[in-house]
Amino acid sequence: MKTRILNTTEEDLKIAGKLLNSGKLVAFPTETVYGLGADALNSTACKNVYIAKGRPVDNPMIVHIARMEDLKLLTDDMTEDITKLTNHFWPGPLTIIVNAKDIIPKVTTGGLDTVAIRMPESLVARKIIEYSNCPIAAPSANLSGKPSPTKGSHVIDDLDGKIDAIVVGDDCKVGIESTVIDMTDSVPVVLRPGIITKEEISKVLGKDIPYDKNLYEKPSGDFKPKSPGMKYKHYSPDAKVVIFKGEKEKVEERLIKEKEEAEKNNLKVEIVEFESDTIAARDLFKVLRDCDKRKVDLILISSLEFTGVGFSVMNRMLRSAGYNIIDVE
Ligand code: TXA
Ligand code: MG
Q: pLDDT tens digits for 85-126? A: 999 999 999 999 999 999 999 999 999 999 999 999 999 999
Average pLDDT over residues 200-204: 98
- Do residues 136 and 38 lie in contact, with contact meaning Cβ atoms separated by under 8 Å? yes
Q: How far apart are the CA of 257 and the centre of ligand 2, in A?
A: 34
Beta bridge partners of 37: 26
Q: What is the pLDDT of residues 271-300, one digit of tens each?
A: 999 999 999 999 999 999 999 999 999 999
Q: Which segments of 93-188 does DSSP mark as H helices, in order?
A: 123-132, 152-159
Task: Give, for ligand 1, the residue of 31, 46, 57, 95 to mutate: max count of ligand atoms closer than 8 Å to Cβ.
Answer: 95
The per-residue pLDDT for 219 is 63
As a residue count, the chain comes to 329
Question: pLDDT band at 56, cuts 50/70/90?
Answer: confident
The answer to whether the CB of 226 is under 6 A from ligand 1 is yes
Q: State whether the beta carbon of 121 lies less than 6 angstroms from ligand 1.
A: no
- CB of 139 closer than 6 A to ligand 1? yes
Q: Is 107 in the pocket of ligand 1 (CB under 6 A)?
A: no
Q: What is the pTM of this model?
A: 0.95
| Pocket lining: 62 vs ligand 1, CB cutoff 6 Å | yes
State the pLDDT at residue 218.
Answer: 64
What is the Cα–Cα distance from 78 to 69, expressed in whole angstroms? 12
Kindly give the distance from the C-alpha atom of residue 32 to the centroid of ligand 2, in angstroms, as a whole number. 11
